[in-house]
Structure 1
């Protein structure tokens, strides 16, 4: 199939799309939390794959690393464009899309508050750590596949994944400890103080 793709065989490229479009979509959807944007990433990834089809090598049994390397670059560019758009629209009310399959993003986390904390924490990871985490944990890539997709060494993948897991746990805990901001004009009514005082009074 690799040779047929390189030769521009439409049927071979259709087979490539059918086999791996869902993989690219899942990666992009988890990264962005936006199903519509994930569909755009899929389209751009395969358009770029068609343009770069001559670079598809025969090494290995799967074109996944080559294809996901393209997807990672597309997502980087898409994320930059999205950030520019968000900065331009910063004065408008923020919209946080939450996909129906959000529970899959963080394994068995079912609590929406925890999900939001993890999503925010992921955004605070370094790009390289986040990409390795997404490939290895969410997309099921091995170290060698992830290294090929990202153009780095296997040892780099291992170290980034280790750091990503550790930082993700710490950053998620930090997010969960933060109190959500109140709507403008409202003042927080801390109802915890009477309970604390009564507890102290009962236990001098």
Structure 2
């Protein structure tokens, strides 16, 4: 048997497999603690045995090749465990992915988005161009009065007055029931371009839905 295995006799390897596969499998399981991993180790062990067949000692008085196979199994299992640790370590270093929302929730959100966009269009249609620009900069883009003035090339006072007119028109639309009622209407704090009321008037989260 040793001479035949060393010579690469396919029939000898089939006999070797049939005789020792159970021992190899059990040994692999004891080393890895996983039946599925043990199956992989068995396959790799016999592939490695074929690759290392020329190392079989033919002067061993016809002794069993079982110790030789289990030695290969041990090395293979060690390499498999090491590869698994590297893989687990690589996964642990990856950034955590955000939870994927339920598809039904996504559909509902899209319907809500369409409704909000329709309300936004209604609101914008009632405003003049300059008023729409100021509203877009101060409410949806989050610019303060000075930043909006710089963006438009106009005085800060003009920004304030245009935004004030836009807000008054939107309040009239609310009173007429054409858009959702705004939240608490407050002037922006010093250094900020809009108040919370402005964001509510702009139909709640319009910034995300009008990119």
Structure exhibiting the larger radius of gyration computed from Cα positions? 2
Structure ranking higher on relative contact order (CA contacts 8 Å, 6+ apart): 1
Q: Same fold (TM over 0.5)?
A: no
Q: TM-score, normalised by structure 2?
A: 0.41
Q: TM-score, normalised by structure 1?
A: 0.42
